[in-house]
């Protein structure tokens, strides 16, 4: 499957929590949306632990609305599997829910967390995404109807937090890079929709620069490739996934 002609112009960003996509790949999603792609943003959880003060149900409702508002800025659709923060696991039930989600959306390009990241929820979602990407187009893998044009998608892994391998402390440099300089202001607007998280990060992480941290990392990736801002990815290279860089063809190799 080395063809660079996707069956469907549908992109899915599947992450653990609301605001993960805005940090990691919103600029690329904006470029795909502007190019006429149908874009979906999905999370395993609604972010029920993303607060120091509110009940789980209340913060979840707030964060679902924030995620939906951010997605609407780029004409995308938001979905949530309704799992719980710090309890995301790769098990039979959650794997089934993920495959069913992919089956309904039928993406030809998927973005998700890398294999190794700072939080276990991210690593579990990585496995869920890899499983669903491989299997959603198998006729008997889901009871939902098989959408015409369903295929094993291009699977891109986003940056680890701060571009660091959490098991070694070594910096990583994913090989695929997309110039998101022109999209930075819209990416900021998407991230700013997640207003509840500024206070949470300040109190729990000691971090009071929600948007500045995102800008700083995108600037680092941009400098590595001669542009102002960029997002970096690794393309899954295992059989039977497409192994030629679709983003490079569509959005230009940096």
Q: pLDDT tens for the chain, 254 residues: list them.
A: 455 789 999 999 999 999 999 999 999 999 999 999 999 999 999 999 988 889 999 999 999 999 999 999 999 999 999 999 999 999 999 999 999 999 999 999 999 999 999 999 999 999 999 999 999 999 999 999 999 999 999 999 999 998 999 999 999 999 999 999 999 999 999 999 998 987 766 666 665 577 888 999 999 999 999 999 999 999 999 999 999 999 999 998 54
Strands 10-15 and 38-45: parallel
Euclidean distance between CA atoms 63 and 197, whole angstroms: 9
Examine residue 253 and state whether it is found in any structural domain, yes or no. Answer: no
Q: Where are the alpha helices (DSSP H) in the chain?
A: 20-24, 26-34, 56-72, 92-105, 120-135, 184-192, 196-200, 210-224, 246-251
Number of domains comprising the chain: 1
Helix (H/G/I), strand (E/B), else coil: 59: helix
Containing structural domain, residue 126: 10-235
CATH number at residue 67: 3.40.50.10320
Examine residue 4 and state whether it is found in any structural domain, yes or no. Answer: no
Q: What is the DSSP string of 114-133?
A: -SS-SSHHHHHHHHHHHHHH
Examine residue 240 and state whether it is found in any structural domain, yes or no. Answer: no
Euclidean distance between CA atoms 217 and 160, whole angstroms: 11
Examine residue 252 and state whether it is found in any structural domain, yes or no. Answer: no
Examine residue 132 and state whether it is found in any structural domain, yes or no. Answer: yes
Examine residue 95 and state whether it is found in any structural domain, yes or no. Answer: yes
Per the DSSP assignment, residues forming a β-bridge with 12 are 40, 110
Examine residue 164 and state whether it is found in any structural domain, yes or no. Answer: yes
Examine residue 3 and state whether it is found in any structural domain, yes or no. Answer: no
Residue 157 CA, chain-centre distance (Å), reads: 8
Give which of 46, 39, 56, 48 is closest to 18, Cα–Cα. 46
Place of tokens 């069913």: 100
């Amino acid at each position: 499957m080395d063809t660079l002609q996707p069956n469907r112009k549908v992109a899915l960003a599947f992450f653990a929590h609301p605001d993960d996509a805005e940090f990691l790949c919103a600029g690329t999603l904006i470029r795909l949306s502007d190019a006429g792609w149908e874009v979906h943003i999905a999370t395993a959880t609604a972010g029920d632990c993303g607060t120091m003060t509110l009940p789980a149900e209340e913060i979840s409702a707030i964060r679902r609305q924030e995620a939906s508002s951010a997605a609407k800025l780029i004409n995308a659709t938001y979905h949530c599997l309704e799992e719980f923060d710090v309890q995301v696991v790769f098990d039979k039930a959650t794997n089934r829910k993920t495959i069913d989600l992919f089956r309904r959306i039928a993406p030809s390009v998927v973005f998700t967390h890398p294999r190794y990241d700072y939080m276990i929820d991210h690593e579990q979602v990585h496995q869920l995404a890899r499983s669903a990407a491989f299997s959603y187009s198998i006729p008997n893998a889901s009871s939902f109807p098989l959408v015409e044009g369903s295929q094993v998608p291009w699977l891109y892994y986003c940056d680890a937090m701060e571009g660091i391998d959490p098991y070694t402390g070594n910096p990583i440099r994913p090989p695929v890079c997309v110039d998101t300089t022109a999209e930075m202001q819209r990416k900021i607007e998407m991230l700013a929709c997640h207003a509840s998280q500024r206070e949470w990060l300040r109190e729990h992480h000691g971090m009071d620069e929600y948007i500045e941290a995102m800008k700083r990392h995108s600037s680092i990736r941009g400098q590595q490739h001669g542009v102002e801002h960029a997002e970096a990815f690794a393309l899954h290279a295992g059989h039977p996934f497409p192994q030629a860089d679709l983003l490079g063809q569509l959005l230009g190799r940096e």
